[in-house]
Amino acid sequence: MTAQDWLQLLGGLAGGVGSVWLVTKLFDAMTVSVDDKQVALVTVFGRFVGKLSRPGLHVVPSKLLPWVQVLHVSKARDFRSYKGIHVNDSRGTTMLVDLWVELHLIDSVKSQFAVTDWNKALESVVAHAALSILGKSDFQQVLQDRQELGERLRADIAREAERWGLSIDSAFIQQIELLPEVASELSNAIAARLERATAEIEATGRLEVAQLEADTTREVATLVAEARAQYPLAIGQALTALKRSPEVLSAWHELFELSQLRPGRTVAFRGFEGTQALRSADAAMLQAVPEPATNPDAPHLPR
């Protein structure tokens, strides 16, 4: 092959490659690829003229024109985290609230053309909702009712976001903090409240103990009085039983009279111990050893 043939061959190859490249570029410039989680919006001079929502490859010849633009908008579920929102509760306590919002687009046209920047607009709406809803509760209620307050935030934000083609799936309070000086004041207030509650509990406990002691003393006194009242009845019953044995009753009266002569002396029976133990009845009949008398004429009394 001559040099001219080689030149013609190279020129043909270059022309073919260039043609393929040109066709490829032309094809890319005229087509729009849309996946299942996207929507393509076609605009002319910035104005919306069409929407491509079916997944696949779409041919748009007008895309070759420089004033025609195609915007890809995601329909996937997304989230936004808003940190450090300053909120004053119903008592004036300043809180730093972090909110978590989950959302997705339901109207891509509104999200792009109904508002200039829906991200900034949504941030403003979230801050306003936090101030209006959380500001009506105190700090303790916000901590206890986080789930309920999150649902109220979601409903309030969803009403505004719907105008921009957004659907708010959920919203909840992620974290709550206090300013350092506010946290210190709150800790001091809680400590004082605990100290006051402790003092009240101790005072109540002392009063209850004193009341319990008084009630116990009264019950014991009542029981002792009742027991003392039963003593004469028991003595009467015993004497009634002794009347059935006149001899035993007479001996008891004699012993009682002798015991009254010397109240400081104790009348006792002897002979209950030892190998030659006596029965109770026999020992009771023994005579007491007389006490030595200084006066011969004085009567002998038992010990």
Would you state the pLDDT for residue 64?
Answer: 75
Q: Is the pTM of this model over 0.75?
A: no
- For residue 86, the cross-strand partners are 96
- Buried b / exposed e over 133-167, threshold 16 CB at 10 Å, is bbeebbbeebeeeeeebbebbbebbbebbeebbbe
Domain boundaries, the chain: 22-74, 78-178, 186-244, 255-303
Q: What is the 3-state secondary structure (H, E, C) of 211-269?
A: HHHHHHHHHHHHHHHHHHHHHHHHHHHHHHHHCCCHHHHHHHHHHHHHHHHCCCCCCCC
Q: In angstroms, what CA-CA distances link 283 with 84, 218, 259, 268, 269?
A: 102, 44, 17, 10, 6
**Pick from 264, 265, 235: which is nearest to 252 by CA?**
235
78 Cβ contact list (under 8 Å, min separation 6): 102, 103, 104
Q: What is the pLDDT of residue 290?
A: 53
Rounded to the nearest integer, the mean pLDDT of the chain is: 78
Go through the chain and tell me how many residues it has: 303
Query: How many angstroms from the chain centroid is the CA of residue 143?
Result: 10
- Strands in 166-178's sheet, in edge-to-edge order, are 78-88, 94-105, 166-178
Say which range, 133-147, 190-204, 234-248, has the weakest mean pLDDT: 234-248
Least confident range from 31-45, 182-196, 267-281: namely 267-281
The span from the CA of 193 to the CA of 263, in Å, is 67
State residue 303's pLDDT score. 41
**124-127: long-range contacts at Cβ-Cβ below 8 A with a sequence spacing of 24 or more?**
125/157, 125/160, 125/161, 126/80, 126/82, 126/85, 126/99, 126/101, 126/153, 126/157, 126/171, 127/82, 127/85
Residue 271 has a pLDDT of: 45
Under DSSP, the state recorded for 61 is G
32-77: pLDDT as tens digits:
778 878 888 888 887 878 887 788 787 777 777 788 888 888 888 8
Lowest mean pLDDT among 101-110, 186-195, 294-303: 294-303
Give 60's contacts (C-beta < 8 A, 6+ positions apart).
30, 31, 32, 42, 52, 68, 70
Give the pLDDT band (50/70/90) at residue 101.
very high
Percent of the chain predicted with pLDDT > 70: 76
Cβ(170)–Cβ(102) below 8 Å: yes
Fold of 78-178: Tetrahydropterin Synthase; Chain A (3.30.479)
For CA atoms 22, 24, 27, 29, the dihedral sign is: negative
The model's pLDDT over 115-146, given as tens digits with 9 standing for 90+, comes to 888 889 899 999 999 888 888 888 888 888 88
